[in-house]
Amino acid sequence: MAKATTTIRQVLNHRPEHGAWFAANQALFNRVAAFYFEVIQAHERVLELGNQEAMRALETLTHTTEKNPHPVMPLAEVAEEIPALFRRAAIHAALGSARSFQAHLEKWRKRKEKTLAKGKTFTERPPVPPRSWNKSATLYAGQWKERTQSSMVLKVWTGTCWSWLQVRITGRELPPYAETGSPQLVRHGKAWQLHTPVGKQFSSPPKVEQQLTANAHTKICAVDLNMGEHLACCTIQTVEGSILATRFISGGTAISGFRKQRLGRVARNRNKTGLIAKGEQDNVALWRTIRDRDEQLAHQVSRRIVQFAREHEASILVFEHLGNLKPEKGRYSRRGNSKRAFWMKGRIFRYATYKAWNERIITCRVNPKNTSRECACCGAQVVRYAQGQSEEGYTPGTPLVLCPACHMRGHADRNASIKIGQRLTTRYSKPSQEKPHAPLPGAERSVKAEGVAASQDAKGEEPPSMAQARRHGSSNGHGTAQRGKRRRMGTPSPSIPTQLRLPRE
């Protein structure tokens, strides 16, 4: 069985003065969590234990009881009268942060070792432990009771004492019979929300390899993420390479203009005020609008990708690895904008991954090398140009492609998206000859593809689908179903058009 978790967000309606109580409760939670983080740093071996044992060890180190009258680092010195379940929730939060910090530190050490071993200088700074704690308080059972769809009773620290408090809940209802986790009390601007994780159990989907080799009806949704107007281009493909549908998801120009304008304002404000106070965030409101808009768009785009995959019953989502950020030159607003556009791609991938998993769709990634430079039909190098430009050379970022070898014309993003899907299917189509993670599937492919193209040229005929594939970008609208084609290498039967071939057993 596999499990997926979604978070149900509900708004708390409370008296205005209770907002201050929630804030005090959260501050206390963070103080206790920060204390436990320090305890863990002082006793690093705690991290080698599982969560339950680590919890017990940390309580022995800090909690005063009759059997344990003198703990090493008493919690009572930081805060008194902490309810057991409040303490455990804080320990859990501290353990999570400590494990994450530890993992980052470990990776940094490895990178350092590797670089020094090569005789290079290593300049990357080590990760730092959290300087400030701003976690939302988790309410374990015992900290809340009498929950209904419209109200619940919470136990919060008011700043002076612990108090039970009834609040009203509005917003989305919890699904009945769902497996709910401990809710969190989350600050949202001036308001407070209740976030409840809701679990869903389903049978685990078969592995990618199994789906692609054992089931000829498997459909994959290949996604090319971009930084231009089309943030994503998705194609639905079958295992043997037919293209069933395409969708472009736009909005890149609008977000880029929005960000650029605000980054420009940040730069102008900074110019006016001169020095920026150290350790203090400037232009708080402007940064928040940029962040919120980016976040919102990433959720929107990822949701639409997953919806598209679900509509066409695709069971695998394929992206390419994102590569590294290529810094741009120019004004502050331009540099900042391109950096955020790059981060946006990472976010869309992450959000799409978990949203897809909730729909029982697996996500994987393929080598990005030359996905936009090679023709999806024959593997030759393509010409990339814009409308009205001469059709030669390769201008990165332009929308159209033309293949000089097979005369395929189309949209560059769509070509890349098809290519990404093909990378995944070729990875499993000939396991005996190709390693699963062959570093250069593209190179190997183009050699084979040329062979096939040559044999077809010699015959002077082409399957009917070729003509369709050539036009593949000229008429595709948003989400129109299109049939392109891809030759499966190593199954030569030139007289039979690809689409009529029987599914492979």
340 vs 472, which CB is nearer to Zn ion? 472
- Cβ atoms of residues 91 and 59 within 8 Å: yes
Burial of 189 (0-12, 13-18, 19+ CB in 10 A): exposed
336 vs 442, which CB is nearer to Zn ion? 442
- CA dist., res. 504 & res. 322, Å (int): 32
1 vs 458, which CB is nearer to Zn ion? 458
Burial of 439 (0-12, 13-18, 19+ CB in 10 A): exposed
249 vs 418, which CB is nearer to Zn ion? 418
222 vs 449, which CB is nearer to Zn ion? 449
Q: Specify the DSSP element, H or E, that contains 11.
A: strand 2-13
User: At its nearest, how many Å lie between Zn ion and the CB of residue 419?
Assistant: 11
Give residues with Cβ within 8 angstroms of 420, minimum separation 6: 222, 223, 224, 318, 319, 320, 366, 371
User: At its nearest, how many Å lie between Zn ion and the CB of residue 479?
Assistant: 25
Residues that bind Zn ion in the complex, under the rule CB under 5 A: 375, 377-378, 380, 403, 405-406, 408
**Amino acid letter, residue 44:** E
Name residue 246's beta-bridge partners. Answer: 235
- CA dist., res. 421 & res. 319, Å (int): 8
Give residues with Cβ within 8 angstroms of 134, minimum separation 6: 30
Of 59, 64, 27, nearest in space to 43 by CA: 59
222 vs 405, which CB is nearer to Zn ion? 405
User: At its nearest, how many Å lie between Zn ion and the CB of residue 366?
Assistant: 20
359 vs 462, which CB is nearer to Zn ion? 462
- CA dist., res. 465 & res. 470, Å (int): 9
- CA dist., res. 318 & res. 221, Å (int): 6
- CA dist., res. 102 & res. 92, Å (int): 15
200 vs 407, which CB is nearer to Zn ion? 407
Instruction: Give the strand pairing for 151-157 and 162-171.
Output: antiparallel
User: At its nearest, how many Å lie between Zn ion and the CB of residue 410?
Assistant: 10
For residues 62-100, one letter each, b for 16 or more C-beta atoms within 10 angstroms of the residue's C-beta and e for the rest, the string is bbeeeeeeebeeebeebbeebeebbbbbbbbbbbebbee
167 vs 380, which CB is nearer to Zn ion? 380
Give residues with Cβ within 8 angstroms of 90, minimum separation 6: 29, 32, 33, 36, 82
87 vs 487, which CB is nearer to Zn ion? 487
User: At its nearest, how many Å lie between Zn ion and the CB of residue 324?
Assistant: 29
User: At its nearest, how many Å lie between Zn ion and the CB of residue 373?
Assistant: 12
305 vs 408, which CB is nearer to Zn ion? 408
User: At its nearest, how many Å lie between Zn ion and the CB of residue 7?
Assistant: 46
- Cβ atoms of residues 51 and 207 within 8 Å: no
- Cβ atoms of residues 243 and 256 within 8 Å: no
User: At its nearest, how many Å lie between Zn ion and the CB of residue 184?
Assistant: 53
Q: For residue 180, what are its two tokens? A: 């709910």
Q: For residue 500, what are its two tokens? A: 């009529």
User: At its nearest, how many Å lie between Zn ion and the CB of residue 399?
Assistant: 18
313 vs 461, which CB is nearer to Zn ion? 461
Give residues with Cβ within 8 angstroms of 173, minimum separation 6: 149
Q: How far lies 68's CA from each of 46, 59, 120, 463, 480, in Å?
A: 18, 10, 52, 81, 70
